Copies of this chain bind each other. A is one copy, B any other.
Amino acid sequence: MNILLVYAHPEPTSLNGSLKEFTVNRLEKSGHRVQVSDLYAMKWKSALDADDFPHRDKTAPFHPSLDSQKAFEQGTQSVDIAKEQKKLLWADALILQFPLWWYSMPAILKGWIDRVYAYGFAYGVGEHSDTHWGDRFGDGVMKGKRAMLLVTVGGWEPHYSARGINGPMDDLLFPIHHGVLWYPGFDVLPPSVIYRTGKMDQKRMAHIQDELGQKLDNLWNIPPIAFRRQNDGDYVIPSLTLSANIMPEQSGFSIHIDA
């Protein structure tokens, strides 16, 4: 299979750098093909702006989504964006690897999402009407592909537990899992989260590699998170609220998983 690893850490000799090397080697040894988008090494441009659309009508105000739509349709996006989209189409699985900074991804990776996720590619796909709100949340261009987060965290695991002060890790990652990956159609695997990165020794590292390695070996067998499909009847359209008869009285991120 083909795997795209999008990697966002500035230091090659870091724990993240080691985990990236380990991941690539393990996948290649299993016969997979791997491409790495090493965003810092590529000096990836983070800010979505008018320069991303060099052929746009420069007399008109810049409109992020409409300019993205036109350029995507006409094949006139910036070359760096088009290249990453091609990698996504090539991939059977996507891994996003990053250190958790301020409870989310580093800016450079957010900028990869903001720019590569074009209108017509990652959103604005399919019929948009009062009865069908686009091919998204389970449908879309990435349908049939899998995705997984590989996240390192300085803090302790209990701080991110159900009653931990930072909020539960699953909820902190929901906007990425559900909003960035499930939205354009990826099946989303449970994340690999490595806590307390400042306290690493050989024994712990061996254990982490062992766990991660087994997960990578089973990338195509692990059951994805059971997010609800937008277009299978669970949601009222166009309000896009969960039908009153499903998990009645409940609310929040968790109701969008069919437990």
Q: Does A89 contact B (CB under 8 A)?
A: no
Contact of A46 among B61, B63, B111, B252 (CB under 8 A): B111
A65 interface residue (CB < 8 Å to B)? yes
Once the chains bind, are A166 and B154 in contact (CB under 8 Å)? no
Given known A-B contacts A46-B108, A47-B46, A137-B165, A158 and B241 have beta carbons under 8 A apart: yes
Q: Is A204 an interface residue (CB 8 A)?
A: no
Which parts of A42-100 form the interface with B (CB within 8 Å)? 44, 46-50, 61-65, 99
- Give chain B nearest CB distance to A226 CB in angstroms: 15
Any chain B CB within 8 A of the CB of A110?
yes
- Could you tell me if A235 and B106 are in contact, using CB atoms closer than 8 angstroms? no
A33 within 8 A of B: no
The answer to whether A156 and B238 touch across the interface, beta carbons within 8 angstroms, is yes
Q: Name the CB-closest residue of B to A109.
A: B107
- Chain B: which residue is nearest A165 at the CB level? B240
The reply to whether B165 and A102 contact each other, CB–CB distance below 8 Å, is no
Tell me the residues in window 167-205 of chain A with beta carbons closer than 8 Å to chain B beta carbons: 167-168, 171-172, 174-175, 178-180
Within 8 Å by CB of A165, from B63, B242, B251, B252, lies: B242
Find the B residue at minimum CB distance from A243: B163
Question: How many copies of this chain does the complex contain?
Answer: 2
Contact between B46 and A167, CB atoms less than 8 A apart: no
Q: A164's contact among B11, B63, B240, by CB below 8 Å, is which? A: B240
What residue of chain B has the Cβ atom nearest to residue A253's Cβ? B167
Interface centre among A113, A154, A162, A252 (most CB of B within 10 A): A252
Q: Is A145 an interface residue (CB 8 A)?
A: no
Chain B: minimal CB distance from A75 (Å): 22
Given the contacts A61-B13, A65-B154, A240-B159, A252 and B102 also touching, CB distance less than 8 Å: no
> What are 12 residue pairs bridging A and B, where the CB atoms are less than 8 Å apart in the complex?
A10-B47, A13-B61, A48-B107, A65-B154, A104-B104, A107-B114, A110-B110, A163-B250, A164-B241, A166-B179, A167-B174, A175-B175
